[in-house]
Chain A
Amino acid sequence: MAIRDDFPILKREVNGFPLIYLDNAATTQKPQIVLDAMNEYYTSSNANVHRAVHTLAGEATEGYETCRQQLKNWFNAERVVMTSGTTEAINLVAHSWGRANLSAGDVIVLTEMEHHSDIVPWQMLAEERKIELRYIPVLEDFTLDMDIYAASLEGAKLVCVVHTSNVLGVRNPLEDIIQMAHANDTLVLVDAAQGVPHERIDFQECGADFMAFSAHKMCGPTGIGALLIDSEVFETMQPFMGGGDMIETVTVDGSTYQTDEHKFEAGTPRIAEAVGWSAALDWMSKLDLKKEHQRLIKIARWVAEQLRTMGMSVYGRHEELDSAVVSFLHPTIHSEDLAHLFDSRGFAVRTGHHCAQPLLNRLGIASTVRASFYLYNTIEEAQLFIEQLKEITERFG
């Protein structure tokens, strides 16, 4: 198993059992190449970026900007702003574009499927600016109500939609959502945190105006992410954070700002993390992601079928483009107890509301157990997971 061999953490034991890591929708593990790149950066090239003329500063700048260029290539995007992650990227849009373009009575369309990161910034802005928020309901088949979506677009300035649900794994019909929004002169922000790990997205082809995602869900480091911005929209946007690196000139009377992506990158950026993310992108570019995704969704579908057979309630549909996330509830064992029991046998699964409380409210539940599969997971691990659940059910159910 060549892929697994690249991940040193997968060799460890947890509570005396081999680790089976199934919490990939929360964060993915890092291949050795990422760990080496970050270590090498701090060992040999650590310096601050963009200003100094010395050799180390040049190397650090090159490392940081190489990541941006790689992201531009990977996503076919003209403007890539480096952020601390998806959450900061969305907050950036709310503060910069939102404050400049939205006022009392304006409408933002959200969905009930959103992660809190794509709800709370808009609620804060709505309170400040008296903006109306409209939520698209989730139907019983775990998809968005597209009829209500169509009706909600009237008067809307922005649509915020999650590419792929972190709870359900459902991949939304973004192409239709974006096309319908644009026909209404409405901009679209896509929260692609769960989408980019599984799908190669062409930003310009998909037509979104903003797309936010994090490195750590695609084998990169924590603490770094990106916001892709349509180049025309980008030109209209002003900085939202002030500080070093984002300025052109500063005098006691006022400041002027950079005009490229740096205008949004105040302060010393995440240099080592960018270097690590570059390495992760290099590593991923050697894989056939489409083929890997087909393998993973097949595993998820098999797990979901097994769970249903065992009497579990499964939340999701696991179609071709969905992510390999399986959320479920045991009929008698509480989700929190189940997660602890799994942990006692080396399995890492997630429980709780997954930062998507409106969705769970719609589903009429307070939490789920979530097993999420990624590149290094195997069908054998999925089988062990099901076997473990059978054993737990027999003993505790």
Chain B
Amino acid sequence: MTYPKDLAELIEEFQEVDDKMERLEMVFDMADEVVPYPPEQWNNDSKVQGCQSEAHVHVEIDDGKVLLFSGADAKLVQGLMGILTIAINGSAPAQALLLSADFAEEMGILNSLSPSRSNGFRNMFDKVMKEIREFV
């Protein structure tokens, strides 16, 4: 699919790195890109189910644009949240909904995006999209 420009550039950057550990390190670094959702606000509604780590997301629409707040105790998960933030924050909800979860696979970060009990990213992505859909 066609990704938003910032995300497309990120995907390209990741694809240029052969070493998976280095790619993981790059994801860890993206953890700072999230709009923080502080642990004291984490609740059952914000919790991403089926995630090995404690991961929470909260979506608001501000001035017609998506605003994703997120946080996780695992760096990989929060890094992926950071990438998702870059991809959708500031977009119109309808635009954000066009994004597919495949980018994590294309970046060579996750081995599989098939729904499974350990696929926290997939569950997180689906939860964010579901919340955005409620605003459309």
**A residues in contact (CB < 8 Å) with B:** 15-16, 334-337, 340-341, 343-345, 351-352, 366-367, 395-396
Residues of chain A contacted by B20 (CB below 8 angstroms): 15-16, 343-344
Looking across the interface, which residue of chain A has its beta carbon closest to that of B27?
A340
Do B74 and A336 have beta carbons less than 8 Å apart? yes
Looking across the interface, which residue of chain A has its beta carbon closest to that of B20?
A344
Do B120 and A336 have beta carbons less than 8 Å apart? yes
B24 at the interface (CB under 8 A from A): yes
Do A344 and B52 have beta carbons less than 8 Å apart? no
Select one of B21, B53, B111 contacting A336, CB under 8 A: B53
Do B52 and A340 have beta carbons less than 8 Å apart? no
Residues of chain B contacted by A396 (CB below 8 angstroms): 25, 28
Residues of chain A contacted by B24 (CB below 8 angstroms): 337, 340-341, 344
Select one of B21, B52, B76, B111 contacting A367, CB under 8 A: B52
Most buried by A among B19, B24, B52: B52
Residues of chain B contacted by A336 (CB below 8 angstroms): 52-53, 74, 76-77, 120
Do A334 and B21 have beta carbons less than 8 Å apart? no
Distance (Å) between the CB of A313 and the closest chain B CB?
Answer: 16
Provide the bound-state CA to CA distance between A340 and B108, in Å: 12
Provide the bound-state CA to CA distance between A395 and B22, in Å: 11
Provide the bound-state CA to CA distance between A278 and B20, in Å: 39
Residues of chain A contacted by B120 (CB below 8 angstroms): 336
Select one of B19, B25, B75 contacting A334, CB under 8 A: B75
Do B19 and A366 have beta carbons less than 8 Å apart? no
10 pairs, A vs B, C-beta closer than 8 Å: A16-B19, A16-B20, A334-B73, A334-B75, A335-B52, A335-B74, A336-B76, A337-B74, A340-B76, A366-B54
Residues of chain A contacted by B100 (CB below 8 angstroms): none
Do B53 and A334 have beta carbons less than 8 Å apart? yes
B118 at the interface (CB under 8 A from A): yes
Provide the bound-state CA to CA distance between A343 and B54, in Å: 21
Distance (Å) between the CB of A342 and the closest chain B CB?
Answer: 10
Do B118 and A352 have beta carbons less than 8 Å apart? yes
Do A337 and B28 have beta carbons less than 8 Å apart? yes
Select one of A15, A341, A351 contacting B52, CB under 8 A: A351
Provide the bound-state CA to CA distance between A179 and B79, in Å: 53
Provide the bound-state CA to CA distance between A135 and B18, in Å: 50
Looking across the interface, which residue of chain B has its beta carbon closest to that of A392?
B21
Looking across the interface, which residue of chain A has its beta carbon closest to that of B120?
A336
Contact with A along B17-49 (1 / 0, CB 8 A): 011110111001000000000000000000000
Distance (Å) between the CB of A18 and the closest chain B CB?
Answer: 14
Provide the bound-state CA to CA distance between A75 and B74, in Å: 44
Do A344 and B19 have beta carbons less than 8 Å apart? yes
Residues of chain A contacted by B19 (CB below 8 angstroms): 16, 344
Residues of chain B contacted by A344 (CB below 8 angstroms): 19-21, 23-24
Contact with A along B99-112 (1 / 0, CB 8 A): 00000000000010
Residues of chain A contacted by B54 (CB below 8 angstroms): 366
Looking across the interface, which residue of chain A has its beta carbon closest to that of B117?
A352
Provide the bound-state CA to CA distance between A140 and B119, in Å: 32
Q: Supply 9 further A-B pairs (C-beta < 8 A) apart from A16-B20, A366-B54.
A: A15-B20, A16-B19, A334-B74, A336-B53, A336-B74, A337-B74, A337-B76, A344-B19, A344-B23
Contact with A along B54-77 (1 / 0, CB 8 A): 100000000000000000011111
Provide the bound-state CA to CA distance between A351 and B75, in Å: 15
Looking across the interface, which residue of chain B has its beta carbon closest to that of A338?
B74
Provide the bound-state CA to CA distance between A335 and B52, in Å: 9
Distance (Å) between the CB of B31 and the closest chain A CB?
Answer: 10
Residues of chain A contacted by B111 (CB below 8 angstroms): 343
Do B21 and A337 have beta carbons less than 8 Å apart? no
Provide the bound-state CA to CA distance between A340 and B73, in Å: 15
Distance (Å) between the CB of B99 and the closest chain A CB?
Answer: 23
Distance (Å) between the CB of A63 and the closest chain B CB?
Answer: 33
Distance (Å) between the CB of B120 and the closest chain A CB?
Answer: 7
Do B25 and A352 have beta carbons less than 8 Å apart? no
Looking across the interface, which residue of chain B has its beta carbon closest to that of A17?
B20
Provide the bound-state CA to CA distance between A352 and B119, in Å: 12
Provide the bound-state CA to CA distance between A15 and B20, in Å: 7
Residues of chain B contacted by A341 (CB below 8 angstroms): 21, 24
Residues of chain B contacted by A351 (CB below 8 angstroms): 52
Residues of chain B contacted by A395 (CB below 8 angstroms): 25
Provide the bound-state CA to CA distance between A334 and B23, in Å: 17
Provide the bound-state CA to CA distance between A337 and B53, in Å: 9
Provide the bound-state CA to CA distance between A16 and B19, in Å: 8
Listed from nearest, the 3 A-B pairs whose CB atoms lie closest are A344-B20, A344-B21, A334-B74
